[in-house]
């Protein structure tokens, strides 16, 4: 018999029940026991939705983040938390977000750092280590969930993050090397394994996704040492890797003394033949055949063609599963009532993916005829998608084929075109600008909602939005900014706004995916060749420019960011889809230029996060990603100034590629890291203009003029001042006007102080 299992289920709830419950708790509108009752119901529901699977995960539920859960289970809680003063849950939320219910500004603490979970769009809370770090098992919350699940069924599989991945994800506050902590952490894992064993748990899933990354010899050794030192009194271990192939890590991973190995075969199955040869004869091989990263229905018949010979060879040693936790996909397609009728049958969310798994297992165990109808339906859906004219636009395909090197090239190199831009724009030294969005007031959000739900006629909507733009322009003029923006009032989200207007993209009503904590995103679904129906931003920008003599900067989201923040079709290379997006944005850029917009910003905050996990795959990605940005940006005349913006980025690794983007101006997040992020640009001698953010927009605090003067002086010691811009870290849409106005006023004053200093010297 072939066994099915699941690695993790989305916890946020099909209608974001978890989000609303914890936010209510934070506002003090729900007691802890009410919250606990709510999430218990939610967990039960999720287990029931996995009824058709042999082994279901427990411990995949989290109030905020699974890595933070691991920190609590291991007793590695930052000392600033003062855990004794709070319930465990409040201590947990304080570490996660700085405060919990009842905390004030004064009683809050520094939240843990957050960063991307491998190459996904999910953010985890970074564990902190130092030489004084001690671990102590605190498994009560996990054990309670296990008991809860055991009341429903026996075949449950607790999920824990493995010790190596846990250490690898953390950051050291001193010189302690994460691996130095291995001897301290191992006993706690053993204690946990023994506890689970005593409870009668048969299988435990230990997640070690770092197996799919480049590991140094030291880390490989650490794996061997650690896994051979696990207690004998433990459940059987299913070692789970995901997000890529094991490649050179496969040999030794197959020799680890565990009871099963899970491989992600959703993108490539090139590890499998070797794994079958290498695995000891009593070890389980789990194949992650259903993608946990996208929303497309799997081609079950083709999968069966591949799986059947493997199944007949491995027999009951074969397990099948989704490739990774289903955390990264929406919950249930059957909630979608308004979804595009033709496209819906092409899709599978978490619940549907588990159905697919079940069909595969039945076919493998009882023969395809046992699920003949379902396989036929599946084949029809796959064929419908393949043959649908909606996925194809021959003109767009031809345009992609016709792209030439010339299309990605500016007319002249930066030094020459920058002279023309200076003449045209006539800006002072240290020009001031913002990143695009201004506060999204309740009024703005209400207007958008009313229009979208059909409760406001279009002319009224246009009028309202125009008055928001006019207000925004007036405020910017009063504040004395040099380069203005229209304010982005019409945008709910920088990707969704464009996705909604592009042909080849569709949207769901409940296709939410957890991004971090209670924050969810609803990624567009790119199903077909991309093209523009009509100009997407020109009307707003042109109107804004008509109100002022100052230059208004047009504001676009770049192709790579749209790609990386969407569910992307899997029937052609990502780079082809990205090139199509680039062409659409290029058309928009040229339209803006045509109506007299002289500065155009193309945001690319997500370039860095698309970087493959393996070093040797990085250059190919960067080459096409940068090429697509250049294709979008570089059709303009010399005198048109192209800006780009990036945030949340570690720039060091990709600084060469950022330079190759060849934007005239790049604005980056810098003040939050106290200008540290600028170093990459200094060291690399970044050749074009740069605006290192001097105002941390993530904080409600208003930066003082002095502070910003200091920051500017700090960078102007290392970068030529005639190439410096003055701007905030990022967009201001989450802030209030009474924070933004004084902050920008101080920023403008800071710029003028610097100008005076230049004039004097």
With contacts defined by CB under 5 A, name the span among 61-69, 219-227, 399-407, 723-731 that binds Zn ion.
Answer: 723-731
Which residue, judged by CB position, is nearest to ligand GLN in the bound state?
731
Give CA 513 to chain center in angstroms: 10
Q: Count Cα neighbours of 444 within 13 Å in the Cβ-side half-sphere.
A: 22
Which of Zn ion, ligand GLN, none has residue 494 at its interface (CB below 5 to 8 Å by kind)?
ligand GLN
Q: Which is nearer to Zn ion, 185 or 484 (CB)?
A: 484
Question: In sequence order, what are the residues at sequence separation of 6 or more whose Cβ sits closer than 8 angstroms to the Cβ of residue 532?
Answer: 501, 502, 503, 584, 587, 588
Q: Which is nearer to ligand GLN, 240 or 748 (CB)?
A: 748
State in Å, rounded, how far the first CA of the chain is from the last one: 82
647 is an interface residue for ligand GLN by CB under 6 A? yes
With contacts defined by CB under 5 A, name the span among 113-121, 270-278, 309-317, 602-610 that binds Zn ion.
Answer: 602-610
Q: Which is nearer to Zn ion, 213 or 601 (CB)?
A: 601
Question: In sequence order, what are the residues at sequence separation of 6 or more whose Cβ sits closer than 8 angstroms to the Cβ of residue 509?
Answer: 335, 336, 337, 338, 339
Task: Give the C-alpha separation, 743 to 251, whole Å.
Answer: 57
User: Rounded to whole angstroms, what are the CA distances from 608 to 87, 586, 655, 674?
Assistant: 38, 21, 10, 20
Q: Which is nearer to ligand GLN, 649 or 688 (CB)?
A: 649
Which of ligand GLN, Zn ion, none has residue 555 at its interface (CB below 5 to 8 Å by kind)?
ligand GLN
With contacts defined by CB under 6 A, name the span among 228-236, 476-484, 635-643, 726-734 that binds ligand GLN.
Answer: 726-734
Q: Which two tokens stand for residue 166?
A: 């846990």
Task: State the number of binding residues for Zn ion (CB under 5 A).
Answer: 3
644 is an interface residue for ligand GLN by CB under 6 A? no
∠ CA(546), CA(549), CA(553), 5° rounding? 70
CB of 641 to ligand GLN, least distance (A): 16
78 is an interface residue for ligand GLN by CB under 6 A? no
With contacts defined by CB under 6 A, name the span among 207-215, 372-380, 432-440, 566-574 that binds ligand GLN.
Answer: 432-440
Alpha helices in 205-286 (DSSP H): 217-228, 250-254, 272-278
CB of 686 to Zn ion, least distance (A): 18
Task: Give the C-alpha separation, 32 to 63, whole Å.
Answer: 12
Q: From the list 435, 579, 678, 680, which residue makes contact with ligand GLN (rule: CB under 6 A)?
A: 435
Site for Zn ion in 605-624 (CB under 5 A): 605
Other residues' Cβ atoms within 10 Å of the Cβ of residue 153: 13
730 is an interface residue for ligand GLN by CB under 6 A? yes
Q: Which is nearer to ligand GLN, 94 or 645 (CB)?
A: 645
With contacts defined by CB under 5 A, name the span among 170-178, 236-244, 409-417, 599-607 that binds Zn ion.
Answer: 599-607
597 is an interface residue for Zn ion by CB under 5 A? no
Q: Which two tokens stand for residue 193?
A: 């394994």
Which of Zn ion, ligand GLN, none has residue 253 at its interface (CB below 5 to 8 Å by kind)?
none
484 is an interface residue for ligand GLN by CB under 6 A? no
Q: Count Cα neighbours of 686 within 13 Å in the Cβ-side half-sphere.
A: 34
607 is an interface residue for ligand GLN by CB under 6 A? no
Give CA 571 to chain center in angstroms: 22
Task: Give the C-alpha separation, 760 to 749, whole Å.
Answer: 17
730 is an interface residue for Zn ion by CB under 5 A? yes
Q: Which is nearer to ligand GLN, 410 or 645 (CB)?
A: 645
Please confirm, yes or no, whether 698 is among the known catalytic residues: yes
For residues 84, 31, 124 and 691, what is the CA-based torsion angle, rounded to 10 degrees? -100
User: Rounded to whole angstroms, what are the CA distances from 61 to 9, 18, 378, 728?
Assistant: 8, 10, 31, 37
Q: Which two tokens stand for residue 531?
A: 């093209």
Q: From the list 141, 157, 328, 645, which residue makes contact with ligand GLN (rule: CB under 6 A)?
A: 645
635 is an interface residue for ligand GLN by CB under 6 A? no
Nearest to 436 by CA among 492, 475, 487, 483: 487
Q: Which is nearer to ligand GLN, 410 or 643 (CB)?
A: 643
Q: Which two tokens stand for residue 114?
A: 């957050």
Task: Give the C-alpha separation, 722 to 716, whole Å.
Answer: 9
Q: Which is nearer to Zn ion, 11 or 645 (CB)?
A: 645
Which of ligand GLN, Zn ion, none has residue 437 at its interface (CB below 5 to 8 Å by kind)?
ligand GLN
Q: Which two tokens stand for residue 450?
A: 């009313």
647 is an interface residue for Zn ion by CB under 5 A? yes
Task: Give the C-alpha separation, 110 to 129, whole Å.
Answer: 16
User: Rounded to whole angstroms, what are the CA distances from 451 to 340, 445, 460, 471, 524?
Assistant: 20, 10, 9, 20, 20
Catalytic residue (one of 5, 123, 486, 698): 698
Q: From the list 57, 162, 288, 436, which residue makes contact with ligand GLN (rule: CB under 6 A)?
A: 436
* Residues taking part in catalysis: 698
Task: Give the footprint of ligand GLN on this chain (CB under 6 A).
Answer: 435-437, 488, 494, 555, 603, 605, 645, 647, 730-731, 733
Task: Give the footprint of Zn ion on this chain (CB under 5 A).
Answer: 605, 647, 730
């Amino acid at each position: 018999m072939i066994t099915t299992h699941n690695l993790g289920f989305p916890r946020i709830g099909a209608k974001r029940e978890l989000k609303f419950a914890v936010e209510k708790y934070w506002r003090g509108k729900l007691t802890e026991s009410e919250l606990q009752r709510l999430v218990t119901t939610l967990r039960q529901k999720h287990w029931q939705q996995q009824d058709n699977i042999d082994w279901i995960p427990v411990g995949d539920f989290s109030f905020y983040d699974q890595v933070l859960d691991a920190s609590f289970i291991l007793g590695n809680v930052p000392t600033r938390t003062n855990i004794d003063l709070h319930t465990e849950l409040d201590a947990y939320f304080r570490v996660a977000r700085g405060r919990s219910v009842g905390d004030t500004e004064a009683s809050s603490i520094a939240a843990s750092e957050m960063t991307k979970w491998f190459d996904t769009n999910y953010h985890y809370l970074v564990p902190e280590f130092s030489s004084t770090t001690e671990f102590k098992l605190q498994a009560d919350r996990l054990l309670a969930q296990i008991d809860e699940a055991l009341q429903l069924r026996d075949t449950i599989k607790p999920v824990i993050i493995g010790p190596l991945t846990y250490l690898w994800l953390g950051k050291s506050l001193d010189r302690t090397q994460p691996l130095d902590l291995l001897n301290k952490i191992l006993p706690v894992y053993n204690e946990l394994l023994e506890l689970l064993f005593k409870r009668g748990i048969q299988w435990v899933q230990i997640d070690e996704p770092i197996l799919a990354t480049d590991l140094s010899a030291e880390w490989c050794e650490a794996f061997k040492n650690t896994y051979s030192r696990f207690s004998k009194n433990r459940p059987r271990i299913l070692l789970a890797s995901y997000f890529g192939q094991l490649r050179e890590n496969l040999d030794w991973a197959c020799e680890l003394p565990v009871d099963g190995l899970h491989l992600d075969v959703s993108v490539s199955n090139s590890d499998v033949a070797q794994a079958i040869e290498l695995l000891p004869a009593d070890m389980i091989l789990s194949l992650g055949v259903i993608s946990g990263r996208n929303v497309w229905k799997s081609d079950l018949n083709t999968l069966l063609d591949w799986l059947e010979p493997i199944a007949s060879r491995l027999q009951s040693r074969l397990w099948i599963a989704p490739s990774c936790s289903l955390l990264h996909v929406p919950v249930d397609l059957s909630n979608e009532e308004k979804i595009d009728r033709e496209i819906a049958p092409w899709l599978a969310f978490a619940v549907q993916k588990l159905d697919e798994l079940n069909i595969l297992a039945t076919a493998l165990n009882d023969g395809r005829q046992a699920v003949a109808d379902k396989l036929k339906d599946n084949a029809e859906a796959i064929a419908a998608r393949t043959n649908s004219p909606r996925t194809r636009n021959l003109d767009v395909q031809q345009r992609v084929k016709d792209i030439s090197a010339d299309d990605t090239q500016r007319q002249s190199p930066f030094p020459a075109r920058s002279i023309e831009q200076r003449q045209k724009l006539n800006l002072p030294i240290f020009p001031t600008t913002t990143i695009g969005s201004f506060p999204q007031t309740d009024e703005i959000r209400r207007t958008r909602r009313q229009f979208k739900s059909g409760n406001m006629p279009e002319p009224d909507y246009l009028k309202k939005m125009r008055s928001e733009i006019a207000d925004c322009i007036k405020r910017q003029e009063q504040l004395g900014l040099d380069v203005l923006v229209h304010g982005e009032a019409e945008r709910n989200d920088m990707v969704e706004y464009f996705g909604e207007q592009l042909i080849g993209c569709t949207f769901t009503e409940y296709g939410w995916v957890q991004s971090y904590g209670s924050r969810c995103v609803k990624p567009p679904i790119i199903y077909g060749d991309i093209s523009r129906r009509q100009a997407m931003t020109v009307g707003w920008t042109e109107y804004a420019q008509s109100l002022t003599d100052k230059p208004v900067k047009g504001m676009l989201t770049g192709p790579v960011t749209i790609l990386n923040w969407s569910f992307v079709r899997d029937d052609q290379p990502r780079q082809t889809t990205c090139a199509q997006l680039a062409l659409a944005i290029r058309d928009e850029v040229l339209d803006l230029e045509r109506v007299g917009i002289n500065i155009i910003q193309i945001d690319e905050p997500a370039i860095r996060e698309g970087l493959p996990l393996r070093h040797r795959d990085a250059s190919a990605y960067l080459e096409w990603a940068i090429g697509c940005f250049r294709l979008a940006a570089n059709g303009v005349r010399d005198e048109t100034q192209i800006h780009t913006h990036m945030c949340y980025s570690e720039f060091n690794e990709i600084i060469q590629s950022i330079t190759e983007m060849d934007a005239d101006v790049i604005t980056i997040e810098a003040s939050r890291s106290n200008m540290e992020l600028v170093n990459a640009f200094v060291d690399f001698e970044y050749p074009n203009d740069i605006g290192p953010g001097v105002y941390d927009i993530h904080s409600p605090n208003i930066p003082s003029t002095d502070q910003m003067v200091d920051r500017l002086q700090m960078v102007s010691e290392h970068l030529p001042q005639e190439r410096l811009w003055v701007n905030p870290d990022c967009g201001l849409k989450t802030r209030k006007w009474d924070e933004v106005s004084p902050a920008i006023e101080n920023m403008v004053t800071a710029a003028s102080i610097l100008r005076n200093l230049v004039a004097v010297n």
